[in-house]
Structure 1
Amino acid sequence: MRHRLINATVVVAIIAVSFNSLAQQAPQEPPAALVEAEAVRTELIAQQIWVPGTVVSRTDSSLASEVPGRITWLADVGDLVEAGDVLAKVDDHMLQLDYEQNQANIAIWEARVNLLSRKQKRFSSMAEQANTSKDQLDEVVAELEIAQQELNQAKVDKRLTEYKLAQSEIKAPFKAMVVERIQSPGEYIAVGQSLLRIVDMANVEASIKAPLSAVPFIQHGLTVMVRSGDKQSSHPIRTIVPVGNSRSRMMEIRVQLQPGDFAIGSAVRVALPHSESHQGLTVPRDALVLRKSGAFVYQVTDNNTAKQIAVKTGIGMGDRIEVVGDINAQSPVITRGAERLSEGQKIRYAEPTQQLANI
């Protein structure tokens, strides 16, 4: 019984010593927070206005026929064609008959010219010997001249028929897509009547209407933000037409786009500068932490800890915003996970391979 009491006393003593040891240990630091970060940028900043526009092709054509006739074949909607490919064919039966008639007329007038040429030679010889009058020789010369002109006219008619035969096949003037059939096979068309609509899919741009007040702040080649729905990208201004009217006070601006970025005909919005620009620091909007006391951001220090910095916001530029404060332009700002951070807390990146120097 006494041995049991001794053992129990020893166990209680060991437990007490363990609790005392744990109580004397220092509290552990909170674990490193998982975050994402992006760089601070130094860039030109200006007030912006968003103006509406439409995506268009620089070449959107309705093709017409230069010859009348019945359509025998027509390209289908959606066909992609190269320059020179046949898009439509017109019945050329009557043109073939005209061509044969032209050949016959040429043969007739060639025979007439040959006959009159020989006749002129004879009359010229006779006139030298005074065996004929000069009036008769002049008549032969005149008839020969008329026959030569008729022969030339017959040859011109033949070239004209050849041209019409070539135009009975309507060919693509550039690489394009057939987007609309205005006529259908079997229909009879007149000269100049539209057959197809084709669109150049490679040369695409945005046509936007902007206020004339933006003229002092834009220029050719200036890169602007183009947005459609959730998609946005930067593109250069191709040309500016600084001419408006007394009602709208609006001008046209064309922004060069890349094929496939936006569908032709879709609506877009374009951000244009509307004030003088200045150099400033911008951060992603997601980096801002808003509180009643004001706005601040967290920057990453050299030892991968979070540093809280109070800032004042300035001009917004798309998904970035100007900030003024004790910002280090060389250190990244935290864009994800900042709401849960505290001053001096250790951080780690969402991507294990992401390093501070690469942000």
Structure 2
Amino acid sequence: MKPLLFKTLISFWMIGWLQGASAQMPPALVTVAPVESQQMAPLRKIAAYSKAKYITTIKAETSGRVIELASIGEQVETGESLGLIADETYALRITELKNAITSEQANLDFLESESKRLQSLSAKNLTSQSALDKNKSDLLTSKAKLAQAQSRLAQLQDSISKLNPKAPFNAFVTEQFAQPGQYIDQGQNFLRIMSRDQTEIIAHLPVKFKQLIQGGKIWQYQNQSGQIFEAKVTGYVPAATSNSRQMQVHLSDLSDQLIPGEAITLLVPETEPKTVIAVHRDALVYRRQGASVFIIKDNTAHKIDVETGLAQGHYIQINGNIKPGDSVVIRGNERLRDQQSVELGNN
């Protein structure tokens, strides 16, 4: 027998044997996922970082001695106390003003009573016009003094309320500028706080991306662990302001897992997205001949050769004899053979 004919017969025999072996193999346990139609675009990796939306230095709004203040790292809710400042003279001034108000109120009550008495006497021609005029003048003066005392008391109470500074937003303390027992003047730095639930992402992009930067767009980013998350474009500076002539873009983190100052990689679309057929990365099986996937029909695995394209997160574009909705194997495909029967497992 000629060598070429012998090799051909052997090849046909091996193919038949493999097909028979595949048919006789027990069902393979696999996990499947649907082939999807997704919007994808080429991505540019841009170095970016996260920052707190608000970083504020709390200043003392009144003078006094520091009694207590929030610790570094302490988390506070909006309206919660950040510390306490005391001024012993405030209690004395409050007593003084309250006594002044009581005294002036008594004088006003007397003058109002005297006004009624004089008006009654005037009706009987038993008093002079000058007495009425003097009473009217004293009455107006007393009302003004009472209003001034009440205003001074309100101002003092407002100053007292400022002895207990409150957090303007949900925050954590990053720095202390005073210590308990220290006397602090009005306007002096007290604490520095940073918002803890409004983390944003800052990136600088080449001007050529300006047509793609639109508020509300959802982009992806990769943290230092390689995990993919999403962020929403909230705004940008419409000018090339940096030395490298790039535009500053702001995004809000949709994952709530970033901490301020964390370095990340922003995945910026280089073009408008287009609709592609995509599968989970785990569906791809790589061999020397190229990439392939296994789709499942009637509990049987069918090998489909594919070409890969764009990638986005856990998904990758494929081109081949496959359509959206097909069930593709994402677990258990490493040892799977074409035409092998399968058993579907849980995702």
TM-score using structure 2 length: 0.76
Match of 1:85 among 80, 86, 90: 80
Give the 3 Å change call, closer, same or farther, for CA 301–147 of structure 1 in structure 2.
Answer: closer
Q: How many residue pairs were aligned?
A: 322
SS at match of 1:139: helix
**Who is 1:4 aligned against?**
none
- Map 1:170-189 to 2 at 5 A: 170-189=165-184
Let me know the Cα RMSD of the aligned residues. 3.5
**Who is 1:243 aligned against?**
238
CA drift of 1:324 comes to 2.4
Maintained 8 Å contact 1:307/1:344: yes
**Who is 2:225 aligned against?**
230
Whole-angstrom CA distance in 2 between matches of 1:185 and 1:50: 48
- Identity among equivalent positions (%) equals 25
Residue by residue over 1:259-303, the C-alpha shift from the partner in whole angstroms, topping out at 9 and shown as x without a partner, is: 3x2223211222222212211122445626374x7x432324535
Whole-angstrom CA distance in 1 between matches of 2:260 and 2:64: 33
Maintained 8 Å contact 2:231/2:251: no
Whole-angstrom CA distance in 2 between matches of 1:192 and 1:180: 17
- Specify the code of the residue in structure 1 equivalent to 2:328: P
Whole-angstrom CA distance in 1 between matches of 2:153 and 2:210: 56
Which structure 2 segments of 5+ residues have no match? 1-15
**Who is 1:262 aligned against?**
258
Give the 3 Å change call, closer, same or farther, for CA 39–51 of structure 1 in structure 2.
Answer: same
Stretch deviating more after TM superposition (214-223 or 105-114): 214-223
CA drift of 1:73 comes to 1.1
Maintained 8 Å contact 2:295/2:301: yes
Maintained 8 Å contact 2:69/2:84: yes
**Who is 1:148 aligned against?**
143
CA drift of 1:229 comes to 1.2
Residue by residue over 1:198-248, the C-alpha shift from the partner in whole angstroms, topping out at 9 and shown as x without a partner, is: 344333333333345434335444332221112423324152235224553
1:323 maps to 2:318: yes
Whole-angstrom CA distance in 1 between matches of 2:333 and 2:112: 102
Maintained 8 Å contact 2:240/2:247: yes
CA drift of 1:337 comes to 6.2
TM-score using structure 1 length: 0.74
- Specify the code of the residue in structure 2 equivalent to 1:69: G
CA drift of 1:193 comes to 2.7
Which structure 1 segments of 5+ residues have no match? 1-25
Greater Cα radius of gyration, structure 1 or 2: 1
**Who is 1:289 aligned against?**
286
Whole-angstrom CA distance in 1 between matches of 2:98 and 2:17: 109
Whole-angstrom CA distance in 2 between matches of 1:324 and 1:146: 92
1:309 maps to 2:302: no
Whole-angstrom CA distance in 1 between matches of 2:303 and 2:55: 56
1:157 maps to 2:155: no
